[in-house]
Structures are given as C-alpha cells and as structure tokens.
Structure 1
Amino acid sequence: MPTTQVYSTSPTSYTFPTLDLSQTSNLSLEDYRYIKDRRFYVGDNIPYFLPNDEEEIERWHMLHYLTRYTWRSNFSAPVEESLFVKGTRILDVGCGSGTWILEMANLYPQSTFIGVDIASIFPPDSTKPHNAGFLQCNILNGLPFPGDTFDFVHIRFMNLGLTERQWEDLVIPELVRVVKTGGWIEIMELSNTWENAGESTEKLFEANDALFASRNLSPNIEQNLEQCLKSSDKLTDICKEERSTAVGAWGGALGERMSQNIRRYAKSCIPALSEILHTNLEEYEATLENSLREVDENKNSVRSYRIYFLAAKRKLDLFYQTT
C-alpha cells in the first residue's frame, strides 16, 4: 500500500497509509464565524459550543496544568514503562493546541506521539519535538490510521463536543479499532457539577445544562460511558479514578486558578448562551460573579475522572468486517 508522511517532523520510520487529503487540509475562512468578538469553528455540524481563538486556547492550556497538578500525572493507565521503549506509539484524540502532546513527547523521547483535532490550531513546527506530530481530522468520520496502530490512546474533555450516541456508536469503536490488542485507552473528563454548590452556582449550572441540552450533549456523561464500556466484550480491566480540585481561595493557589479558569469558561459560553437563553446576559454574568463569591463559604470543588481500560478486542470479527 502506498504511504505518505502526514507531518514533517515525524520519525522517518513511522508512516501512514495514503490519506484523503481533503480531511487534512488547513481551515479556510469559511470554517470560522465570529460571535461577540469570539472566533468559532463551524464545520461538520459539530455540537461543540466554545470558541477556538487564542483566548480559549490559553484557558485550555491553563486547565492542562491545573488537572496535571491535581492528578500529579498526565495519565493514569499503567503504560509508563512502555513509554521508555523505542517504537511505542501514542495517539491523543481532540488534542486542541497540543499541550499534552508536547509535554509527553519531551518527557518520553523514545515514543512517538500523534495528536489529532478537528480544528488546525496546532503549534508551529519550530516548537515541536522530533517525536511529535499533528493531523487535522474529525474522529466522527473515522481516524486515518490502520487498525492496531497505537499502544496507548488518550482522549479528554470531549463531552463538550460529542453526544452520548456518538460516544457509543462511533468514538469508542474507533478508539478500539486503532489501538493494539493489549493496548490501553484512557478517557478523562471534568464533571459539570460542583460539590457543595450554592444557590447562585446552581443557577449557573441550570444555564449550562440548557446549553448542553440545546446541542444534545450530556453534561455528566461518565456514568453512561462507564456502563457502555462494561457492556463491551472487546474491553477488560476497566478502572475509574476520581479527584477533586478546590475552587476558590480556600484551596490556595490551585483553587484560585481553578476559579479563574471557570470564570473564563463561563464567559466563553456567553455567545452560545445568547442564542438559547431569554434571560438578560448581564444577569447571567452577575450570577457568575455571585457564584464565584460563594465558593469560599461553601468550600466548593469540582471533580475530574479518568476511565482507562485494556483492549482485549478482535477486529477480525463480524462487526468490523461489515462496517
């Protein structure tokens, strides 16, 4: 089968089958629209409602370090030993601007790291380690890799852009397809509810839930996702871990920065909320500020979780032969 390098800085020994380049081209101006001075990606009818401009990229960058500090790691699956072995391949789905990929590639130079995202907001070649690369594609259209390609597949913070049906019918089967038998898959998400939420915080989450519902998204998908994984005969050793991160000054510097990140998330939601809410957006912003004042009194915290599991699948079964 003919092959092609899909990114210039990859190791020469790692190649992919020929790709449909229409799925890997750069975004055109028609792929964007501006609402209230924020830039949004609008291709492929995706339900994702947050901007993809520099301001939002910076927020995700901050969230990466907040969650890494909370977990004291970038992953929980038992794969670290293999990351020191030359030839190990790792895929990060929905990689965004590539913060996780860049950090992991520098930590584990023997492994090859590939990030894919629907929007081409990747770092410039000059900042990429020799063992990292990025590719623009939409997982809902399938990943442009052969089966059994990766030793570890990582995906996080995608409940903002995937419906429950898409998770179950498209995304999980595709992750299972590209990971090697005996390889690990890890899903990380933030809960969209807070522990010890106050009155203003509850109002804030009512607006957030309405926004999710308007896009057919599930704000707290972890329970259904876990059940879906357990029902599969292709997966085994399913583990779930949770951590809580303080929100507000009561949690020290980490809590203060998490509070800042939540404020920025809520403000990033305003353009999408303006399309569905009939309430005054000034009232929404006032509720946000009241909520962030409540956090120290109530000692609020936000949960994050990681679900990781082993692929004990067989891709030569009838399912994969007929799809």
Structure 2
Amino acid sequence: MGKSLSKNLSSSNSSYSERTFTSSKQTSLSTISTNSRSNSFLNKRVSSFSIKSSSKWSLATSLPKNTPPSNSIFSITAPNTPGTPRNPFIDSSDYFNININNNDLSSEYKFIDGRRFHNIDSVKYFLPNDELEMDRLKTLHYILHNVFQSNFSSPVNEILKIGGAEILDLGCGPGAWLLDMAETFPKSNFTGVDLTNTLIGNDDMSKNIKFIKGNVLDGLPFKNSTFDYVFIRNLSYGFSEQDWKDVINELIRITKPGGWIELMEPEFKARDYGQITIYLNDAFIKDLQSQNICINITTKLEQFLIDTKQIDRVFHDEKSINCGSWAGRLGELVCEDFIMIMSAIKPRLSQIIGVNHDDYDQLLKSIPDEMNECKSSFINHRFWAQKLFPI
C-alpha cells in the first residue's frame, strides 16, 4: 500500500438555540419515514458505487450505472393552483436587475478519470457535476430531510402556503429540494441558481419553478429585495472565508426586509471514525485548506450573518447523523455518500497520500466496517435568520 501510507497510519435528538451551539446524539434510524417522494426514492435507490464491503451489507447491488434515479421518482404534476406562471428557462425583465447572457459563464467541462467537472477558473468547487454526482445529491437530500424531519426551519410555512412568495434555492444542483418544495407549495414561485442547469430533462417540472444559470461569486442577477426566502446548502466545498462573507452580503441584498435566509452545511471533521477513515478525511481537509477553502464555516456563519448589521437574531439547529449499517438503512446511505465523495476525488487525493488507484480502492473498502465498529457519525448544521426592516 506504500511506505508513506503505513507510516502515516501508524502515527496517526435535536436541539436549537439562539446564538448558541448545542450538540446532541441522534437516535439511530432503522427505517426511513418521510414523505411519499422520499420513500419512493430511497426504496428504489440502487448504489452506483462499485466497491463492495466485507461487512454484512454491500454498497453495490448491481453493475455501476452513470444514470440518475428513475424520472418517475422526480416527476411532478403541474399544480392546479400555481402562483404566477413563469417560463422556467426564460428570464423576465421585471424580475431581474439585468439581462442574463448565459454565454458569460463557461459551458465547457473537464473530464478526469471518467468523471465530469466544472471548468471555470474562478470556481473552487471540485466535486463532479455529472449524473452520478446528481444521483448522490438527490440521495443526500432525502437523508437530510429524514434527519431534520423537514425541508426547512425558517418560519415561512404560512407565507408559502398563502402563495405569491418568491423563493430562491442557491446552488440547487439536481433540484431535489426545489422540486420537493414546489410540489408542497404550488402557489409560491421557486427559482434555482447553479453553475450548470441539471434541471433540464424534468419534462413534468412544475410551472412554479424557474432556473437561472449563474455564479454567486460574480454577483446574482436579481434586484434588491427580490425574495421572501433564500435557501442555500452544501456549498462548503467551494468558498473561502472571504467568499462566504461576500455570499452572505449578496443574500442579504436580494432578500426582502422581513424575509428569511437559511444556510445548511456539514462539519468537515470526522467523529468516531477508524484509522483509515480519519486518514483519508484528514488528507481531504488539508487539501481543502491548501485551496483556501474555509473548513470550519459552521463555527463562523452565525457571526458572519450578524456582522451584516441587517440581522436581528440567528437561530441554529444541529443534528448528529449516524454512519454505517449499525444505524439501519439510513446509516448505510450516509456511509455510501462519504465513500462516493472520497471516490470522486480519488485522482487528486491518491496523489496527495502517495498511493496508486488500486490501493486507494482498497482503503475505501475498509470504511464500512470501520464505521460500524466505531459507531461513526458526522454533524450537520442549519442556521436561519430574518432580515431587518429599515429603520
């Protein structure tokens, strides 16, 4: 496995509070019971990761497929009483501050070890953007929905039900959150923003969904005070500390006074993990640090929001998410998610730790057993805050 590897290995329930950080160990879940969309997806979920575990369960139940889950799982019938109908892929001059030219953003990709990645110099985000990654993100959506028992924590349920509300999902990815929310609240309008339009192909997408291609670090193409509710999650892999400050200021700008902003990000540091898992995770963290990516953003988001001087209070919720078959089917999916991330960055991380791809794959095979033995878990955080009205 390499000298450098053996040397390094030898050395080496929920609560929320206002402006406080609390910790709680979540009871393991052996079954998954959320909404019908979640159950349908997770029951049909077939791993597209090819490494098999020596433990009682296996990550691979069939040959790998670089395809997303069945379209029937994500198809949404157009609502009977939607908000103001909008063409989901055409911009409206009364809605946006500027005209969008999609050619301003590179439409080209780069391919590494059979995976497709963004090819935009200013973008630090280094995970793939292919169908296999979209499949992972859809699964992660339902994992998080189950763990938090909701799609959001901000007190916006009533305004979304009444209708006419404008909601932004920044970094929408495959649109799992966006589609879920648009189906649940058909009278409100939902806009997704991402570097790549992965919503194309959803032929039955609700009429209350719109997609805009864009990069938040270049500024969002919306007028001031456009949205009643702004949601963002899983972007920790792409931002430096200064980027986060700029992003939060931009979110504040486009949120209406009295509107809500919600951010959801994981901790990077492993908890209760075995030697190999910690070894890979620590190498991953060091690589992120070398790219100036903020690895401890969950300890800073609250203060960044307060520093804008346009937030009165920040609420915080955190969950401990168990990993491995010891925690039931949900734990299996969480373990698989971690391994798929580690597999996606294999070309880079294998070089960093000094092993070839075959040895790297052998390391990944050990992770499920380690997580079961150590009763592993990781922490995910939600922060939500209301924009102040001007005095």
Alignment TM-score, normalising by the size of structure 2: 0.73
| One-letter amino acid matched to 1:78 | P
- Residue 244 (structure 1) shift: 1.4
- The 2-side partners of 1:44 and 1:35 are apart by 16
> For the Cα contact (< 8 Å) 1:196–1:301, is it kept in 2?
yes
2:125 maps to 1:22: no
Deviations 1:257-299 (A, max 9, x none): 1111111111011133256443434333333322321111111
Shift of 1:23: 3.8
CA drift at 1:81? 1.2
Number of paired residues? 308
The answer to whether the Cα contact below 8 Å between 1:49 and 1:160 also exists between their aligned partners in 2 is: yes
Per the TM alignment, residue 26 of structure 1 is displaced from its structure 2 partner at its CA by 7.9
Please report how far the alpha carbon of residue 313 of structure 1 lies from its aligned counterpart in structure 2 after TM superposition. Answer: 6.0
Q: Would the aligned equivalents of 1:176 and 1:313 in 2 still touch at CA under 8 Å?
A: no
Q: Matches of 2:276 and 2:92 in 1, distance apart? A: 55
Deviations 1:213-234 (A, max 9, x none): 2321122311022222233311
Contact kept? 1:204, 1:291, Cα under 8 Å: no
Mapping of residues 239-258 of structure 1, within 5 Å: 239-258=315-334
Unaligned 5+ runs, structure 1 = 317-323
User: Which of 203, 213, 218 is 2:279 aligned to?
Assistant: 203
- What TM-score, normalized to structure 1? 0.88
Deviation at 1:245, TM superposition (A): 1.4
Cα pair distance change 1:109/1:14, threshold 3 Å: farther
- Aligned partner (choices 90, 95, 107) of residue 184 of structure 2: 107
2:167 alignment counterpart = 90
Report the residue type matching 1:244 in the other structure: S
Task: State which drifts further: 150-159 or 19-28.
Answer: 19-28
- Give the number of the structure with larger relative contact order, counting CA–CA contacts within 8 Å between residues 6 or more apart: 2
Distance apart, 1:72 and its partner CA: 0.8
Structure 1 residues 56 and 125 mapped into 2: Cα distance closer, same or farther (>3 Å)?
closer
Shift of 1:11: 11
| Alpha-carbon distance between aligned partners in 2 of 1:26 and 1:127, rounded to the nearest angstrom | 27
Gaps of 5+ in 2: 1-83
Name which of 109, 122, 129 aligns with 2:199. Answer: 122
**Percent identity of the aligned residues?**
35
Q: Secondary structure at the match of 1:181?
A: strand
Mapped to 2, the partners of 1:197 and 1:167 lie a distance apart of 28
Q: Residue 177 of structure 1: CA displacement? A: 0.3
Q: Is the 8 A contact 1:49 1:161 kept in 2?
A: yes
1:1-323, aligned counterparts within 5 Å? 8-9=87-88, 15-17=94-96, 19-23=98-102, 28=107, 31-124=108-201, 126-168=203-245, 170-274=246-350, 276-312=352-388, 314=390
CA RMSD of the aligned region, Å?
2.5
Paired with 2:298 and 2:185, the residues of 1 have a C-alpha distance of: 29
Secondary structure (helix, strand or coil) at the match of 2:101 reads: helix
Say which SS state the counterpart of residue 335 (structure 2) adopts: helix
Deviation at 1:202, TM superposition (A): 1.3
Deviates more, 1:114-123 or 1:172-181: 114-123
CA 1:42–1:275 in structure 2 vs 1: closer, same or farther (change >3 Å)?
farther
Q: Deviations over 1:145-199 (max 9, x none)?
A: 101110000000000111111001x200000000001111000011222321222
Distance 2:179 2:103 in 1: 20
